[in-house]
Amino acid sequence: MSNILPDKDGNFWYSTIGEGLFMIPNFVIQKNIVKNKNLHKEIVTKIDGDGVNNIFCGTSNNGVGNLDGNLYYKSEIFQGINALKINKKSVYFCGNNAFYKDNRLINPQPAKALSIFRDSIAIATTFGINFLPIANPKIPTSPSSSQITDIRGRFYSVLLLSNLFYSGNQQGLFWGRPKKDELFPICLEDSDESVSVNGILEAADKNIWVSTEGKGVYVLKDKKVIRHFEKELLDGNIHSMKIDEQDQVWISTRKGINKIEKGPRDYRVKKYTSYHGLPSDYVYDTYCYQDILYAATDEGLVKIDMNELDKLNFGMPPPVYIMNATVQSKSTLLKLNTDTIGEFSSQQNTISFEYTGISYKSNGNISFEYRLLPTINKWVATTNDNITFNNLSAGDYSFEVVAINAIGIRSAKPAVYRFRIEKHFTATIWFITLCIGLIIGLIGWAIYKYLKYEKLKLGEKSQNEKVIAELTLKSLQAQLNPHFIFNSLNAIQQFINVENRKEANEYLARFARLMRLYLGGSENQFISLEQEMEVIKLYCQLEHLRFSDRFRYEINMDDSIDLKNVEVPAMLLQPHVENAIRHGLIPCDSDNNLLQINIYSVNDGVICAIKDNGIGRSQSFINKQGKENRHKSLGNKISKERLDAIRSLHLAYITEEISDVIVDGEIRGTCVEIYIRKKD
C-alpha cells in the first residue's frame, strides 16, 4: 500500500504498487453478518424476527435458521420456502409441499402464505384457506371440525384479524369471515382489470396494505382504496412487504428497497439501491427493528444502520467529461469547457464524441443526456457513452452532455464542446455575390437585348402605322377635295339649267378663283389659317350667290392673331360651313338666316367658331331620315376621320365641339367650335 485517503461518504481508498486501487467501505452497511455456520454460504430469501436478538432466515437451499445461533431446520421433504413468521419464540414457515412450526411438520400440503392473530393461524394453501389454533396447529382429517374453514381456491396471501380475514390471488383481493365459506371481492382498480395480490398487512393505524405483482402497493381503509403507490416506487412488481414497530413500510423489489413512512400531510417514499451501498438491487426480503435494517439480496444478507445511512450525502451530482472527439476519422483530445472553438472544414462534417460520468456508487448504472445546439434543442436520453453526428451543415455548434447517476441525480453542469464547420466555398458570401452579380448581369443583358428588339419592332410597327396613317390622311383629303368640287359644279349646273347666265358666269369666275387657291395648296396637308379663310370667304360668296341671298354671313377675325403663322389642315372649316348652310340655314323658313364665322385667340391657341341660327341638329336629322334614297353628304364624316388621322400622327392638336344654340329654351341653331393648339 502506497497511500490512503478517506472520501465524503466515510469510505477509505488506498493505492498499491502494482496491484491497483482499492476501497474499504464505511461500516454503515455491514456484510458477512451471518454467524450460523449452516446459513453462512446460502442465499437468504426470507427473513423475520422478534426484536434484534431473535432473527431467523430462510434460504434458497430450503433451510431455516436463526442468524446468531445454531438453530437450523431442514427437511428432505421441505422445498421452496414461501413464508416465514416469528411469533412468541416459535418459527412458522411454509413451502411448496409443507407447513412447519419450528421443526415439526403441521401439514404436508403446499402453502403459500400464513398469518397469525392472537391464538389463531391462517394458512393460504393450494386448496383454500385453513384456520388453525396456535396452541395445537394440527390440521384434523375431518373437514367438519369447527376449527377449520376450507375455502376452495388457490390463494397467495392472507391476513387474519379479529373475526375477519383478507386474502389475495391472481383475481384480486377478497375478505371474509373465518367460519363462513363465503368471500367478498374488494375493488382495487376502477377498471375491470384484475390485480394479482401477493401480500397483505395491517398497519398500526388499522389501514390495510396490499402488495401486488406489477401494480405496486395499495392502502385501504374500511375496504376502500385511499392511496396507491406505483410510479413512486422503484418497481411495481413487489417481492415482499414488511411493517416495522414504527409503522414504516418496507418494500422489496428487483430494483432496490422502498421505505414508505407517514409524514405530516402525506406519505414519504425513500429509495435505497446499490447506489446507497446495497450489494445488489435485487432484494428478496427485509426485516427492520429500531432502524436496523436487514436486507436479503441475491448477493448476500446485509445489516444497515438506517440512521447513519440517512446522514450520508447521496445528493452529490456526478461530474461528466468529454474524453475524445473524432472528426472524419481524425482523433482529437478535448479539454472540458475549453474556450477554444474547434474549426473544421466543410468536408469534416461527421463528428463523434466519447464522454464519461464518474459515480462509483452507481456501479456502472450511469445514463446520459445530450443535445447539440442549435440543431437539437431538447435533451436526448441515452445509455451509450458515445454519439456520432453525421453530415452536419455549416454553422456554429455547441455539444453538451450531462451524466445521471443510479438515483437520477444529474450533473451540476454539462460538459461542453463548441465547434464550427466552415461553409463550402459555394456557400460563402463572395461566391454568392459573384453568382448574383453574374445572374443580374445576364438578366440585364437579356432585358437590354429584349428591349432593344422590342424597340426595333415597335419602331417598325410605328413606322408602318405612320405610313398607313399618312396614306389614310391623303386618301381622306383626296376624298374631301372631289366632294367639294362636285358640290360647286353642281351649283353651276343649276344656274345653267335655269338659264341664269349672268349669275352662272359670276359663279364660275369666283369658282375658278377658288380652284386656284385650292390647287395651290392641294399638295400640302397643312396651309396657313390665312389661306384657309380666303377659301372660306370665296366659298361663302359662292353659296350666298347660289342660294339667292337666302342667308347672310359674317366673318369676324381677331386682329391679334397672326394668321400666316397658324397652320391648319387644308379644308378644315369648309365641311362645317357647308353643313351649316345646306342643313341648317337653307331648310329654315326665315328671312333672318345668319351664318357667323368667328376667329379668336385663347391662351394657348385659336378657336374657330361656326355658328348658325338654322333648324338645329335634331330637325336636320329628321329631314335626312326622310331623304334616305337621296345623295348622302359625306363632308362631315370625312373631315372627322381626317382629324383622327392627324391626331394619331401627332401632326397637330385639333378638337371639335358641336353644340345646340338655345334661345328661350328652344333650339335655334348649331355652333361648331374648332380648337387649334399653337405649336410649342
pLDDT one-digit tens code per residue, 483-499: 567 767 776 777 777 76
Helix/strand/coil for 136: coil
Which DSSP string corresponds to 87-133? Answer: ETTEEEEEESS-EEETTEEEE-S-EEEEEEETTEEEEEETTEEEEEE
- Of the two residues 361 and 8, the one the predictor is more confident about is 361
In Å, how far are 518, 527, 566, 634 from 522, measured between CA atoms?
6, 9, 17, 19
Section 337-354 average pLDDT = 80
Section 548-554 average pLDDT = 86
Whether 147 has a pLDDT exceeding 50, the answer reads: no
Choice among 64-73, 248-257, 421-430 with the minimum mean pLDDT: 421-430
pTM of the model: 0.57
Whether 7 is in a domain gets the answer no
Whether 6 is in a domain gets the answer no
Same-domain pairing of 384 and 454: no
Section 594-610 average pLDDT = 92
> Chain centroid to CA 201: how far?
53
Half-sphere exposure in the Cβ direction for 176 (13 Å, CA): 22
CATH no. for residue 107? 2.130.10.10
Whether 477 has a pLDDT exceeding 60, the answer reads: no
Section 460-489 average pLDDT = 59
Q: Residue 265 gets which letter from DSSP?
A: S
Whether 115 has a pLDDT exceeding 80, the answer reads: yes
In angstroms, the CA 335 to CA 417 distance is 8
Choice among 26-35, 189-198, 344-353, 667-676 with the minimum mean pLDDT: 26-35
Section 206-223 average pLDDT = 95
CA dihedral 515, 517, 518, 521 (to 10 degrees): 150
The answer to whether the CB of 171 falls within 8 A of the CB of 157 is no
**Length of the chain (residues):** 680
Whether 197 has a pLDDT exceeding 80, the answer reads: yes
How sure is the predictor about 110, in pLDDT bands with cuts at 50, 70 and 90?
confident
Cell numbers placing 375: 440543431
For all residues of the chain together, what is the average pLDDT?
83
- Whole-number percent of the chain with pLDDT over 70: 85
Whether 236 is in a domain gets the answer yes
Same-domain pairing of 416 and 335: yes
The residue whose grid cell reads 424476527 is 49
Contacts of 579 (CB under 8 A, 6+ apart): 633, 635, 636
For 163, the domain range is 88-225
Cell numbers placing 398: 455547441
Residue 384 burial (CB count, 10 A): 11
- Give the burial class of 143: count Cβ atoms within 10 A of its Cβ; 0-12 exposed, 13-18 middle, 19 or more buried: exposed
Same-domain pairing of 570 and 608: yes
Cell numbers placing 361: 456508487
Section 105-125 average pLDDT = 89
Same-domain pairing of 554 and 506: yes
Same-domain pairing of 246 and 367: no
Same-domain pairing of 155 and 263: no
How sure is the predictor about 182, in pLDDT bands with cuts at 50, 70 and 90?
confident
The residue whose grid cell reads 445509455 is 383
How sure is the predictor about 200, in pLDDT bands with cuts at 50, 70 and 90?
very high
Whether 64 is in a domain gets the answer yes
Q: Examine the fold and report which residue of 225, 244, 274 is the final residue of a domain before the chain moves on.
A: 225
Cα dihedral sign, 211-215-220-226:
positive
Whether 359 is in a domain gets the answer yes
Q: What is the pLDDT of residue 631?
A: 46
In Å, how far are 200, 480, 483, 493, 513 from 486, measured between CA atoms?
135, 10, 5, 10, 16
Q: Examine the fold and report which residue of 291, 312, 333 is the final residue of a domain before the chain moves on.
A: 312
Whether 491 is in a domain gets the answer yes
Q: What is the pLDDT of residue 145?
A: 42
Whether 589 is in a domain gets the answer yes
Helix/strand/coil for 176: strand
Same-domain pairing of 498 and 467: yes
In degrees and rounded to multiples of 5, residue 383 shows phi and psi of -100, -5
The answer to whether the CB of 339 falls within 8 A of the CB of 368 is no
Q: Examine the fold and report which residue of 295, 312, 329 is the final residue of a domain before the chain moves on.
A: 312
In angstroms, the CA 13 to CA 23 distance is 4
CATH no. for residue 387? 2.60.40.10
Whether 543 has a pLDDT exceeding 50, the answer reads: yes
The residue whose grid cell reads 378657336 is 607
Amino acid, single-letter form, for residue 266: D
Whether 270 has a pLDDT exceeding 80, the answer reads: yes
Cell numbers placing 532: 384657309
In angstroms, the CA 131 to CA 120 distance is 7
- Of the two residues 301 and 541, the one the predictor is more confident about is 301
Which DSSP string corresponds to 292-343? Answer: EEEEEETTEEEEEEHHHHHHS---PPPPEEEEEEEETTEEEE--TT-SPPEE
Same-domain pairing of 238 and 338: no
Cis ω for the linkage preceding 374 (within 30 of 0): yes
Q: What is the pLDDT of residue 635?
A: 58
Q: What is the pLDDT of residue 108?
A: 83
Section 213-240 average pLDDT = 95
What is the number of structural domains in the chain? 4
Q: What is the pLDDT of residue 371?
A: 96
Q: What is the pLDDT of residue 620?
A: 81
Choice among 132-136, 218-222, 303-307, 497-501 with the minimum mean pLDDT: 497-501
Same-domain pairing of 588 and 456: yes
Residue 85's nearest CA partner among 55, 40, 59 is 55
> Chain centroid to CA 635: how far?
76
Contacts of 294 (CB under 8 A, 6+ apart): 33, 47, 49, 55, 67, 286, 287, 288, 301, 302, 303, 304
Summarised one tens digit per residue, pLDDT across range 364-378 is 789 999 999 999 999
Q: What is the pLDDT of residue 432?
A: 83
Same-domain pairing of 420 and 553: no
> Chain centroid to CA 494: how far?
96
Q: What is the pLDDT of residue 235?
A: 95
In Å, how far are 225, 511, 547 from 507, measured between CA atoms?
135, 6, 11
Same-domain pairing of 562 and 490: yes
In angstroms, the CA 498 to CA 114 distance is 158
Residue 634's nearest CA partner among 646, 624, 623 is 624
Half-sphere exposure in the Cβ direction for 478 (13 Å, CA): 6
In degrees and rounded to multiples of 5, residue 207 shows phi and psi of -75, 150
Whether 14 is in a domain gets the answer no
Section 102-107 average pLDDT = 86
Helix/strand/coil for 406: coil
Q: What is the pLDDT of residue 629?
A: 43
- Of the two residues 290 and 462, the one the predictor is more confident about is 290
Q: What is the pLDDT of residue 146?
A: 40
Which DSSP string corresponds to 14-54? Answer: EE-SSS-EEEE--SSEE------TTTTTS-EEEEEESSSS-
Summarised one tens digit per residue, pLDDT across range 29-81 is 888 888 888 887 889 999 999 887 889 999 988 889 999 888 888 887 788 89
Q: Which segments within 422-534 are labelled E, that is strand?
A: 526-528
In angstroms, the CA 608 to CA 598 distance is 6
Strand (E) or helix (H) holding 354: strand 351-357
Q: What is the pLDDT of residue 311?
A: 86
Same-domain pairing of 121 and 260: no
The residue whose grid cell reads 468529454 is 322
Cell numbers placing 396: 456554429
The answer to whether the CB of 26 falls within 8 A of the CB of 9 is yes
Section 373-392 average pLDDT = 93
